[in-house]
Amino acid sequence: MTDKVTGARALVDALLREGVDHVFGIPGTQNLAVIDALRDTPQIRFILTRHEQGAAFMAYGFARASGGPAVVTATEGPGVTNLATGIAAANRGNVPVISICGVQESVVRERDSTQDMDQVTFMRPITKWAYSIPNVKKVQELVRKAFRVALTEPQGPAHIEASSEILLEQTTLETTSPAAYRNNVLPTCDSAQLDAVFELLKAAKQPVFVVGRGLINEKATAAMAALAESTGIPVGALQYSPDAFPSSHALALGPLGRSGFGSANRIVPKADLIIAIGAHIDAFSTTHKYGIFTEQAKLVHHSAAPGQIGIVFPVSIGVTGSTASFIAGLAERAAKAGLKKSWVDVPKARADWETELQGKVDHQAVPIQSQFVAHMIRKVLPKDGLCVVDAGNGGKHVRSYFKSWEPGTFMCIDDWASVGGSFPIALGAKLARPERPVLCASGDMGAMCNIGELETAMRENIPVVYVVFNDEGLGNERAFQNEHYGGRFYAVDYKNPDFGALARVFGAHGEHVTKPGELEGAIQRAFASGKPAIVDVMIDQNTLAPVVYRPQ
């Protein structure tokens, strides 16, 4: 006997086969059929958010923290346009978020009807693939394609949509498993290319490794540490993934770039060979011009996604394949040759930088200095805690002071810098990794952007600690105006509510901090509360993170 179900039921069953256990979003007229099917699916937890942007960012955080895909749903028109910022962030950050949205029914489309727009054309520039499901028989096939596209390297978002007239029609239930329609096993790196890379490595006098998120995606951090230890070669991290190679390791230079570690920024320019592994070369780490990476250094660029190689800098060798196989191939060749390339005293370089960094921390200053807040965040957050930073001045300070002990402990809005995204990202990350303490750090503008999701956090019991760098203004833009416009400040100042008091209105834990001696205890109490929490820290407007990279 053939099983007949609605298109919406078939869609949700397809999500179950993909292992989806959370869906984020807001109901609306044309996605209600999906919501109704989710109501009868206890295996999937639906997280109702207060804005579609928050839903998209929660899906982003969930996908990043879980290492798998995440699903967000919204209704037609403004529901879709409200998703756009979070979906675009997933596109720039290579995060597999699948948006499943409504679209107006055929009878009113192309008739200037309410909430009618060409949603597929709108979504195409910010996704890997966008498609409108034409009939109920295509629902399950197109769900499969959305996941296949999203999970193929480079990973990224996919968008599908359907109207209620399609989702409520009957179709035949298919039970095809994901393994039957896609392969997620990455190819191994070419042996001849690995031989060529190793020849460059043997000839180099001052090589460095630079690592990116490919190590986290493939759980290859331990293998990378073993390779560094066996060869004595120092390891820098791209700024978006400082935890790809924990900065607590003896050979870790730390993250590169404007808000990175001086130890990395001083040593990497001395390299005659840079081997970038699992790497997406970003502007924050390299400025996209020669300086941190020098024109004289040979560059080997490895990535699981061939299209990411050579975008910024020409390479001596570009290698595509799994990160794990690249590391294993180099390790095998290095062990066979007994390769040792220790050429710099990494612990001393790190110690010198740490002395400089801590020298900028004023434990007594009032107003509180941003560097002190960043220092205290790292002090209080447990080693296995996950820190999510926002765009802007506060996030930049946290980057400079954030030391990692293990992968999966740092997250930012890669290559998109969307102010306000960090709080919902942190909520999604906490749902994916409930065993980890999660702390979000942002400025006051970011805090206001998605403050409504504090109600979501309370209702769904998502205990994230939110530290707000409150300087009553746009610190990052103040820094740019100071750097490029002669200190002609304009449209960067405003007033805020007491965010601690506002948190308590929501029923969350909230504190307002004005003196440095109050901060450590406030963050500790926020974690101990077991509730969503805001620690509102009044900071000095003038402690601005650099917005221009200068060699150190």
Measured CA to CA, the distance from residue 416 to residue 52 in angstroms comes to 18
Cβ(419)–Cβ(446) below 8 Å = yes
Q: What is the predicted pLDDT for the residue at 342?
A: 95
Question: How many beta carbons lie within 10 A of that of residue 22, not counting itself?
Answer: 18
Please give the chain's pLDDT, 552 residues, in tens.
468 999 999 999 999 999 999 999 999 999 999 999 999 999 999 999 999 999 999 999 999 999 999 999 999 999 999 999 999 999 999 999 999 999 988 767 777 777 789 999 999 999 999 999 999 999 999 999 999 999 999 999 999 999 999 999 999 999 999 999 999 899 999 999 999 999 999 999 999 999 999 999 999 999 999 999 999 999 999 999 999 999 999 999 999 998 999 999 999 999 999 999 999 999 999 999 999 999 999 999 999 999 999 999 999 999 999 999 999 999 999 999 999 999 999 999 999 999 999 999 999 999 999 999 999 999 999 999 999 999 999 999 999 999 999 999 999 999 999 999 999 999 999 999 999 999 999 999 999 999 999 999 999 999 999 999 999 999 999 999 999 999 999 999 999 999 999 999 999 999 999 999 999 999 999 999 999 999 999 999 999 998 887 887
Measured CA to CA, the distance from residue 94 to residue 276 in angstroms comes to 18
- Confidence (pTM): 0.97
Domains along the chain?
Answer: 4-172 (3.40.50.970), 191-345 (3.40.50.1220), 360-538 (3.40.50.970)
Q: What is the predicted pLDDT for the residue at 2?
A: 60
Measured CA to CA, the distance from residue 50 to residue 115 in angstroms comes to 19
Q: What is the 3-state secondary structure (H, E, C) of 248-297?
A: CCCCEEEECCCCCCHHHHHHHHHCCEEEEECCCCCHHHHCCCCCCCCCCC
Q: What is the predicted pLDDT for the residue at 154?
A: 95
Burial call 367-396: b when 16+ CB within 10 Å, e when fewer = bbbbbbbbbbbbebbeeebbbbbbbbbbbb
Question: How many beta carbons lie within 10 A of that of residue 455, not counting itself?
Answer: 16
> Pairing between strand 509-513 and 533-538?
parallel
Closest-CA residue to 119 (of 89, 161, 88, 178)? 161
Question: How many beta carbons lie within 10 A of that of residue 221, not counting itself?
Answer: 23
Name the token pair of 230: 């066996």
Measured CA to CA, the distance from residue 21 to residue 47 in angstroms comes to 11
Closest-CA residue to 326 (of 217, 402, 421, 425)? 217
DSSP string, 312-368: SS--SEEEES-HHHHHHHHHHHHHHHT-----S-HHHHHHHHHHHHHHT--SS-SSB
Closest-CA residue to 540 (of 485, 469, 491)? 469
Q: What is the predicted pLDDT for the residue at 118?
A: 93
* H or E segment to which residue 129 belongs: strand 129-132
Measured CA to CA, the distance from residue 352 to residue 103 in angstroms comes to 58
Q: What is the predicted pLDDT for the residue at 332?
A: 98
Measured CA to CA, the distance from residue 402 to residue 408 in angstroms comes to 13
